[in-house]
C-alpha cells in the first residue's frame, strides 16, 4: 500500500515543532518511545468489549493479559484495591463516576471553572452541569487558596450528593481530610480528580487523596506521562450509600457499579492499544527513574515560580506546591490571549487561563498557566528555569516587536537543541 505521505509529513512536522519549542502547557508531557510504539501496534485491531475473563468477543486471551497487567501495575502505584483502565479520557472517567454514583438531577459540588476547576466538575456547558444540578466553591481572593469554609457552607446549605475536588489550574495541594469531614457531615461522596498532580501523588510528594476520598479519577497523559487516556481507582470498595443500583435493581459494591458505568454505561470497545501503552507507562512510574523525575518536576516548578516573581509577575497564591503556576498578567498590562499568541510566535507554548475573579472572558482571560512536566522530561533542571523565564519575559515585555520575537525564537531553538527529543526517530 502506498504510504500516506500527506499525513506522515504532517506527523513529522509536528515532531519537529515538539523538538524545537519550549513546551509549558501544564497538562502535556512527552511519553517514552515504547508508549508511542504500543499505541501504534496491532492491538488497535481488536474488539474486546467487557473485562478480562468476561468479554463479548473471542480471541481476547492476549488482550486479557495486557489489561490485567495495566490494572495490577496501576493498583500497585497508588496502593489501590480496584482500578478501571478503560476510560478513553479523563472526561469519560468522570462521566462514568457520575453515572455509577448519581441519579440524573442530583446535586454536585465542585470547584468553579473560573477559579481553576474543570469542565466536567459541573460547568453548565458540560454534561456534568446539564444532567446534574451543580453548585460551586471557589478560592479566597486574598490568598488564592481553596476556600474550605465556603465549601463547607455550600455543602451544608445545598446537601450535594457528591463533592468533587481537583482542578485544572490550581498550584497548591488539597486538604482531603477536611473535604471528607465536610462530606461525611453532609452525606456526600467524595470524588478526587487528580488528573493534574497524579504523578506527584504517585510518589508521595503531595497529600494522598486515597486515604480520604471514596473514588479517584485521573487522566494518564499529564504528570503520569502515559498515553492520552483516563482511569478510575479506589483504595477501599464500598456499597453505594446513595442507593444507586445496577441495571437489575441490585445494590452492588461500588467497583461493580463503576465497571458497569464505564462499559456498557458510557463506552463500547476499549482502546486496547492505549491500555497497553498505559501498562507500559505504569511500569515506568514504578521505577526509581520516575521518582527522580517527579521530584525534579517540583524543584523545577519552584525555581520557575521564583524566576517569575523576581521579574514582578503576580502568581496566584504566590507560588506552587505542584507542577504548575497561574500568573495574573494585569500588572503587566497584558491579556492571557495576547501573551499566549505572542509566545507562540517565539515557539514557547503555554495557554491563556482565567485567573480567579477575572474580569475578562474565557476567550481573552487575564492570565497564563505555566507547567513544567514536559520540559522536565526533556531534561531541563532548576538552573534552566532562569533562562526560560528570561526568554518569556523578553517576549512579554515587547509584544509588538517582531524582530525581538524572531530573535528569541532563534534562542529557543538553540536552547532546546541541548535536550534531544526522540533521537531514535531520526
Ligand atoms: N484540558 C486539560 C488541561 O489542560 O488541564 C484538562 O482537561
For ligand 1, atom 5, the nearest C-alpha belongs to 168
Residue 351 parent element (H or E): strand 351-353
For ligand 1, atom 2, the nearest C-alpha belongs to 27
Structure-derived torsion over alpha carbons of residues 425, 351, 303, 226, reported in degrees to the nearest 10: -40
pLDDT at 97 over 90: yes
For residue 28, the ligand 1 atom closest to its alpha carbon is 4
How close is the Cα of 27 to the center of ligand 1, in Å? 6
Q: What is the mean pLDDT of the chain?
A: 98
For ligand 1, atom 4, the nearest C-alpha belongs to 27
pLDDT at 241 over 90: no
Note the pLDDT of residue 245: 87
How close is the Cα of 169 to the center of ligand 1, in Å? 8
Find where cell 486496547 sits.
Answer: 272
Each residue's pLDDT tens digit, 371-394: 999 999 999 999 999 999 999 999
Note the pLDDT of residue 206: 98
Does 168 contact ligand 1 (Cβ within 6 A)?
Answer: yes
Rounded to an integer, the average pLDDT of 159-181 is 98
Q: Is the dihedral of CA 165, 169, 173, 178 positive or negative?
A: negative
The vertex-247 CA angle with 209 and 72, nearest 5°, equals 40
How close is the Cα of 229 to the center of ligand 1, in Å? 12
Nearest to 172 by CA among 38, 272, 316: 316
Note the pLDDT of residue 395: 98
Does 267 contact ligand 1 (Cβ within 6 A)?
Answer: no
Note the pLDDT of residue 16: 98
Cell of 66: 495486557
Does 90 contact ligand 1 (Cβ within 6 A)?
Answer: yes
Q: How does strand 82-84 pair with strand 314-315?
A: unpaired
Does 27 contact ligand 1 (Cβ within 6 A)?
Answer: yes
Rounded to an integer, the average pLDDT of 148-155 is 98
The whole-model pTM stands at 0.98
pLDDT at 283 over 90: yes
What does the alpha-carbon distance between residue 406 and residue 413 come to, in Å, rounded to a whole number? 11
Each residue's pLDDT tens digit, 319-358: 999 999 999 999 999 999 999 999 999 999 999 999 999 9
For ligand 1, atom 1, the nearest C-alpha belongs to 27
Note the pLDDT of residue 423: 97
Note the pLDDT of residue 27: 98
Does 94 contact ligand 1 (Cβ within 6 A)?
Answer: no
Quick one: what percent of the chain has pLDDT higher than 90?
Answer: 97
Instruction: Map out the domains of the chain as residue ranges.
Output: 34-285, 296-420
147 CB-near residues (< 8 Å, 6+ apart): 137, 138, 139, 140
Does 240 contact ligand 1 (Cβ within 6 A)?
Answer: no
Does 365 contact ligand 1 (Cβ within 6 A)?
Answer: no
Does 123 contact ligand 1 (Cβ within 6 A)?
Answer: no
Active site residues: 47, 49, 193, 219, 222, 228
How close is the Cα of 180 to the center of ligand 1, in Å? 25
| Distances 142 to 139, 356, 366 between C-alpha atoms, Å | 9, 10, 17
Fold of 34-285: 3.40.640
Each residue's pLDDT tens digit, 200-220: 999 999 999 999 999 999 999
How close is the Cα of 90 to the center of ligand 1, in Å? 9
How close is the Cα of 185 to the center of ligand 1, in Å? 31
For ligand 1, atom 3, the nearest C-alpha belongs to 27
pLDDT at 242 over 90: no
Each residue's pLDDT tens digit, 287-320: 999 999 999 999 999 999 999 999 999 999 999 9
Does 223 contact ligand 1 (Cβ within 6 A)?
Answer: no
Does 342 contact ligand 1 (Cβ within 6 A)?
Answer: no
How close is the Cα of 239 to the center of ligand 1, in Å? 31
For residue 119, the ligand 1 atom closest to its alpha carbon is 7
The architecture in CATH of the region 296-420 reads Alpha-Beta Complex (3.90)
Residue 20 parent element (H or E): helix 5-20
Amino acid at each position: 500500500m502506498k504510504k500516506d505521505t500527506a499525513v506522515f509529513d504532517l506527523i513529522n512536522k509536528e515532531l519537529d515543532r515538539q523538538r524545537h519549542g519550549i513546551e509549558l502547557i501544564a497538562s502535556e508531557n512527552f511519553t517514552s518511545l515504547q508508549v508511542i510504539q504500543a499505541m501504534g501496534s496491532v492491538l488497535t485491531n481488536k474488539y474486546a468489549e467487557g473485562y478480562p475473563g468476561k468479554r463479548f468477543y473471542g480471541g481476547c486471551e492476549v488482550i486479557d493479559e495486557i489489561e490485567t497487567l495495566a490494572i495490577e501495575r496501576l493498583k500497585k502505584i497508588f496502593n489501590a484495591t480496584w482500578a478501571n483502565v478503560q476510560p478513553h479520557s479523563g472526561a469519560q472517567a468522570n462521566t462514568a463516576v457520575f453515572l455509577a454514583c448519581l441519579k440524573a438531577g442530583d446535586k454536585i459540588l465542585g470547584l468553579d471553572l473560573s477559579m481553576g476547576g474543570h469542565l466536567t466538575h459541573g460547568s453548565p456547558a458540560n454534561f456534568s452541569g446539564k444532567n446534574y444540578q451543580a453548585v460551586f466553591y471557589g478560592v479566597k481572593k486574598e490568598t488564592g487558596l481553596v476556600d474550605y469554609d465556603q465549601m463547607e457552607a455550600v455543602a451544608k446549605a445545598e446537601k450535594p450528593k457528591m463533592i468533587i475536588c481537583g482542578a485544572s489550574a490550581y498550584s497548591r495541594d488539597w486538604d482531603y481530610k477536611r473535604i471528607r469531614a465536610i462530606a461525611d457531615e453532609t452525606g456526600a461522596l467524595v470524588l478526587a480528580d487528580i488528573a493534574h498532580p497524579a504523578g506527584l501523588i504517585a510518589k508521595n510528594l503531595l497529600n494522598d487523596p486515597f486515604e480520604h476520598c471514596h473514588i479517584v479519577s485521573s487522566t494518564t497523559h499529564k504528570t503520569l506521562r502515559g498515553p492520552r487516556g483516563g482511569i478510575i481507582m479506589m483504595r477501599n470498595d464500598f456499597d453505594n450509600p446513595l442507593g444507586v443500583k445496577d441495571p437489575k435493581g441490585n445494590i452492588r459494591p461500588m467497583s461493580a457499579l463503576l465497571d458497569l458505568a464505564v462499559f456498557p454505561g458510557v463506552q463500547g470497545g476499549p482502546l486496547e492499544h492505549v491500555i497497553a501503552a498505559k501498562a507500559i507507562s505504569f511500569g515506568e512510574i514504578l521505577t526509581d527513574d520516575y521518582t527522580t523525575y517527579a521530584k525534579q518536576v517540583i524543584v523545577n516548578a519552584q525555581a520557575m515560580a521564583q524566576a517569575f516573581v523576581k521579574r514582578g509577575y503576580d502568581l496566584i497564591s504566590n507560588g506552587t506546591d505542584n507542577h504548575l503556576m497561574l500568573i495574573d498578567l494585569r500588572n503587566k498590562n497584558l491579556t492571557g490571549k495576547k501573551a499566549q499568541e505572542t509566545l507562540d510566535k517565539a515557539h514557547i507554548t503555554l495557554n491563556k487561563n482565567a485567573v480567579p475573579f477575572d474580569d475578562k472572558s474565557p476567550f481573552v482571560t487575564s492570565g497564563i498557566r505555566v507547567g513544567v512536566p514536559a520540559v522536565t522530561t526533556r531534561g531541563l533542571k532548576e538552573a534552566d528555569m532562569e533562562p526560560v523565564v528570561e526568554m518569556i519575559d523578553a517576549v512579554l515585555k515587547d509584544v509588538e516587536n517582531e524582530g525581538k520575537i524572531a530573535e528569541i525564537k532563534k534562542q529557543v531553538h538553540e536552547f532546546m537543541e541541548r535536550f534531544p527529543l526522540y533521537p531514535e526517530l531520526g
